[in-house]
Amino acid sequence: MADLAKRPALSITGGNPAGYPDFVPLNPWGRGFPKPERPPKPALYQVVVLDKRNGNKETRIGPMMQYEFVEMFRQAIAEGIASGAEKRWTDPIVLQMTQGVS
């Protein structure tokens, strides 16, 4: 026991690891990290038809999509109406629902 008293005590003053100052990673640019560049959000469109069962009320059909996809969807609905397969809808049109954000 007497030998333990003769040993110098460790000087632990805190930090990470013990005895060293806290580790703080340095930013290599010396300023805030750059924000990631994201592509702008496109405008979204949706097909709207007149529904005969609801007194020619406008009804939105399908999800909101980019123009190229919603135009193909509108053409498919128009072909169904022209062929007589779809009897309750008329006049499919494409309307812009959201603005694109740059």
Reported as a single tens digit per residue, the pLDDT across 47-92 is 999 999 888 899 999 999 999 999 999 999 999 999 999 999 999 9
Q: Which of 19, 22, 2 is nearest to 10 (CA)?
A: 19
- pLDDT band of 2, cuts 50, 70, 90: low
Answer whether residue 99 is part of any domain: yes
- 73 lies in which domain range? 38-102
Q: Is the CB of residue 66 less than 8 Å from the CB of residue 45?
A: yes
- Average pLDDT over every residue of 25-39: 75
- pLDDT band of 36, cuts 50, 70, 90: confident
Answer whether residue 2 is part of any domain: no
Answer whether residue 96 is part of any domain: yes
Residues in Cβ contact with 51 at an 8 Å cutoff, skipping those fewer than 6 apart:
57, 58, 59, 88, 89
pLDDT at 3 over 70: no
Q: Is the dihedral of CA 46, 52, 58, 60 positive or negative?
A: negative
Answer whether residue 3 is part of any domain: no
Answer whether residue 5 is part of any domain: no
Answer whether residue 30 is part of any domain: no
Answer whether residue 22 is part of any domain: no
Answer whether residue 65 is part of any domain: yes
* Distance from C-alpha of 82 to C-alpha of 90, rounded to nearest angstrom: 9
* Distance from C-alpha of 93 to C-alpha of 97, rounded to nearest angstrom: 12
